[in-house]
Amino acid sequence: MPTHDLVVIGAGPGGYVAAIRAAQLGLNVACVEEEQALGGTCLRVGCIPSKAMLEASELYSMARSHLAEFGVTMTAVSLDLPTMLKRKDGIVSQLTKGVEGLFRKNKVTRYFGHGRIKAAGVVAVEGKEPQEIQAKHIVIATGSKSSPLNGVELDGTHVVTSTEALSFTEVPKHLVVIGAGYIGLEMGCVWKRLGAKVTVLEFLDRILPGMDSEMAAEAQKVFTKQGLEFKLGTRVTSAKYDGQKCIVECGGSEPIHADKVLLSVGRYPNADNLGLDVVHVARDSRGRVQVDQLFRTTIPGIYAIGDMIGGPMLAHKAEEEGVACIEGIVHGHCHVNYDAIPGVVYTDPEIASVGKTEDQLKEANVPYKKGVFPFMANGRAKALGQTEGRVKMLAHAQTDRILGVHIIGPRAGDLIAEAVVALEFGASSEDIARSSHAHPTLAEVMKEAALNVDGRAIHM
Ligand code: NAI
């Protein structure tokens, strides 16, 4: 039986990063992955292809509706969806092959097949070439799957999850999105920009639950202005394709007809045929594997990271945990700062956030100061023609330590990195306010928001 020091099950951002880190630290590492392409949901059918489509649809929308404002006129703009999809697939292929290259460089042995834990120290690889492998340490990094919803009949073509919604071969006339979370808004924005009518049905009375509520309300206003239709407080009871159209029923109102329906009401840990019950790895009521600070499960030698355990289901959170888990195995200690994990919704404009929301501070009775600065007053945003949104910085009322930063606006997902570093270093708003930010850049909004924590923004 092939023997390794460590085997990782799953080659998503958590798993492949853990495998590489373990190899860097001198372990003999294997990784079992059932998909041909490495990289997991994120690279194959998640973050990366969706961003390729977001960028492409943004350019199309720019060319169609906004380039004239810049003095660039075009006689005809048309959509070439097959090329857009081909480009997206090309980017995915380059990146998944890149992970293969990284495995080769780091001498990580890849096993192609479904990994199932047979016992502590033994993983069965099931598939074309079934075999068993032995390893002292097993890391579970199998990610998550789209949550189903009672009454919603997924058929892979008309009533679909995000995987299929990334590859519609025609622009739907009317797309109904169930769930106003990350996936629903990102995919809704893509197809809206490509010409679809988009209706978003959300069970709660707000969008983006968990995000700062003031910023979520502002985002909803912006998206509504762009033409997205929201029906909040709407409970979907059924959705199916009747052979001609999709019919979506919501308690108490008229059925909605559409040609495509996207179900995006969350994800759940992927423990399919993983052997967790056989080896008695403890899980909570939502199927998440229970781990301690060293990512150890209740069974010695078995660890879990990423979407399989608690916390936000984000690729970069899984990566941090992958590295920390391995360093814990090798060095006996490790740390992930969950207060400094950013969340980004890649819509247009983007929404980004790190640290505490204003709602959380209020609820915990933490005294805070707030500095807000709009992109409208930023020169670079004006030049870009993207002035919607603002930055909100929250700092402790007495110590001035930054507690949370929330941004809606152009490239918010890149701008939030400064706030993440500030939180990691325990910075005060004064620290950011006194740091020179190049002019003219979007990043100046961060400095101005920091200045405004004490009411001294210059350009407002
Ligand atoms: P989500 O948890 O972000 O949002 C699901 C939404 O569906 C919530 O607003 C919820 O209230 C609503 N909902 C639940 N049941 C419903 C019902 N019966 N009818 C109507 N609405 C209902 O889940 P989503 O968007 O599916 O994303 C799954 C995971 O993937 C998230 O944890 C997210 O963090 C991650 N993700 C992250 C991305 C990023 O970092 N940019 C992009 C895509 C996904």
Enumerate the β-bridge partners of residue 161: none
User: Mean pLDDT throughout 79-104?
Assistant: 97
Task: Answer yes or no: do 228 and 322 share one domain.
Answer: no
In the chain, the percentage of residues whose pLDDT exceeds 90 is 98
In the chain, the percentage of residues whose pLDDT exceeds 70 is 100
Q: Is 151 contained in some domain? A: no
Q: Is 165 contained in some domain? A: yes
- 308-343 pLDDT per residue, tens: 999 999 999 999 999 999 999 999 999 999 999 999
Enumerate the β-bridge partners of residue 135: 4
Cα-based distances in Å from 115 to 86, 108, 132, 175, 450: 31, 16, 9, 37, 49
Catalytic residue among 66, 335, 439, 459: 439
Q: How many domains does the chain have?
A: 3
Asked if 286 and 147 count as a contact pair (C-beta separation under 8 A), the reply is no
Task: For residue 316, give both structure tokens.
Answer: 């970069």
Asked if 417 and 359 count as a contact pair (C-beta separation under 8 A), the reply is no
User: Mean pLDDT throughout 43-72?
Assistant: 95
Asked if 140 and 304 count as a contact pair (C-beta separation under 8 A), the reply is yes
Please state, in angstroms and rounded to a whole number, the distance separating the CA atoms of residues 33 and 120: 19
pLDDT, residue 269, reads 98
Task: Answer yes or no: do 108 and 58 share one domain.
Answer: yes
Task: Answer yes or no: do 49 and 179 share one domain.
Answer: no
Going from the Cα of 99 to the center of ligand 1, the distance in angstroms, rounded, reads 27
- 194-220 pLDDT per residue, tens: 999 999 999 999 999 999 999 999 999
Domain of 223 in residue numbering reads as: 159-265
Q: Is 17 contained in some domain? A: yes
- 284-304 pLDDT per residue, tens: 999 999 999 999 999 999 999
- By the 10 Å C-beta count (0-12 exposed, 13-18 middle, 19+ buried), 227 is classed as exposed
3-class DSSP string for 55-81: HHHHHHHHHHHHHHHHCCCCCCCCCCH
**Active site includes 439?**
yes
Going from the Cα of 176 to the center of ligand 1, the distance in angstroms, rounded, reads 15
Please state, in angstroms and rounded to a whole number, the distance separating the CA atoms of residues 23 and 105: 10
Task: Answer yes or no: do 136 and 18 share one domain.
Answer: yes
Establish whether residue 200 lines the binding site of ligand 1, counting it when its CB lies within 6 angstroms of any ligand atom: no
Asked if 382 and 302 count as a contact pair (C-beta separation under 8 A), the reply is no
Of 312, 336, 360, the last residue of a domain is 336
Q: Is 183 contained in some domain? A: yes
Going from the Cα of 146 to the center of ligand 1, the distance in angstroms, rounded, reads 9
Going from the Cα of 179 to the center of ligand 1, the distance in angstroms, rounded, reads 6
Closest CA to 176 of 118, 121, 127, 240: 240
Task: Answer yes or no: do 347 and 296 share one domain.
Answer: no
Q: Is 458 contained in some domain? A: no
- Residue 229: helix, strand or coil by DSSP? strand
Establish whether residue 355 lines the binding site of ligand 1, counting it when its CB lies within 6 angstroms of any ligand atom: no
- 97-151 pLDDT per residue, tens: 999 999 999 999 999 999 999 999 999 999 999 999 999 999 999 999 999 999 9
User: Mean pLDDT throughout 382-399?
Assistant: 97
Q: Is residue 180 very low, low, confident or very high in pLDDT (cuts 50, 70, 90)? A: very high
Please state, in angstroms and rounded to a whole number, the distance separating the CA atoms of residues 424 and 426: 6
pLDDT, residue 446, reads 98
Establish whether residue 180 lines the binding site of ligand 1, counting it when its CB lies within 6 angstroms of any ligand atom: yes
Please state, in angstroms and rounded to a whole number, the distance separating the CA atoms of residues 8 and 49: 24
pLDDT, residue 251, reads 83
- 58-80 pLDDT per residue, tens: 999 999 999 999 999 998 999 99
Q: Is 379 contained in some domain? A: yes
Q: What is the CATH number of the domain that holds 87?
A: 3.50.50.60
Establish whether residue 149 lines the binding site of ligand 1, counting it when its CB lies within 6 angstroms of any ligand atom: yes
pLDDT, residue 92, reads 97
Q: Which of 187, 189, 203 to mutate to test the pocket of ligand 1 (most atoms within 8 A of CB)?
A: 203
pLDDT, residue 137, reads 98
Task: For residue 307, give both structure tokens.
Answer: 């979407």
Establish whether residue 352 lines the binding site of ligand 1, counting it when its CB lies within 6 angstroms of any ligand atom: no
pLDDT, residue 253, reads 85
pLDDT, residue 431, reads 98
Please state, in angstroms and rounded to a whole number, the distance separating the CA atoms of residues 445 and 376: 10
Looking from the CA of residue 346, the nearest atom of ligand 1 is 41
Q: Is residue 188 very low, low, confident or very high in pLDDT (cuts 50, 70, 90)? A: very high
Q: Which residue's CA is the nearest one to ligand 1's atom 35?
A: 313
Task: Answer yes or no: do 131 and 67 share one domain.
Answer: yes
Alpha-carbon Rg of the chain, whole angstroms? 23
Task: Answer yes or no: do 287 and 358 share one domain.
Answer: no
Asked if 103 and 19 count as a contact pair (C-beta separation under 8 A), the reply is yes
Asked if 143 and 306 count as a contact pair (C-beta separation under 8 A), the reply is yes
Of 336, 355, 387, the last residue of a domain is 336
Task: Answer yes or no: do 272 and 140 share one domain.
Answer: yes
Query: 159-160 and 260-263 as β-strands: parallel, antiparallel, unpaired?
Result: parallel
Task: Answer yes or no: do 253 and 278 share one domain.
Answer: no
Task: For residue 95, give both structure tokens.
Answer: 């990146």
Closest CA to 171 of 80, 278, 247: 80
pLDDT, residue 252, reads 78
Please state, in angstroms and rounded to a whole number, the distance separating the CA atoms of residues 385 and 407: 17
Please state, in angstroms and rounded to a whole number, the distance separating the CA atoms of residues 214 and 17: 35
Please state, in angstroms and rounded to a whole number, the distance separating the CA atoms of residues 90 and 381: 31
Q: What is the CATH number of the domain that holds 396?
A: 3.30.390.30
pLDDT above 90 for 223: yes
Task: Answer yes or no: do 235 and 277 share one domain.
Answer: no
Task: Answer yes or no: do 124 and 97 share one domain.
Answer: yes
* Average predicted confidence (pLDDT) for the chain: 97
Task: For residue 188, give both structure tokens.
Answer: 């809704």
Closest CA to 243 of 168, 159, 174: 159
Q: Is 459 contained in some domain? A: no
Going from the Cα of 48 to the center of ligand 1, the distance in angstroms, rounded, reads 17
Q: Is 460 contained in some domain? A: no
Task: Answer yes or no: do 63 and 122 share one domain.
Answer: yes
Establish whether residue 178 lines the binding site of ligand 1, counting it when its CB lies within 6 angstroms of any ligand atom: yes
Cα-based distances in Å from 31 to 23, 36, 114: 11, 13, 11
Please state, in angstroms and rounded to a whole number, the distance separating the CA atoms of residues 430 and 424: 15
Of 222, 240, 265, the last residue of a domain is 265
Cα-based distances in Å from 339 to 230, 317, 355: 31, 11, 5
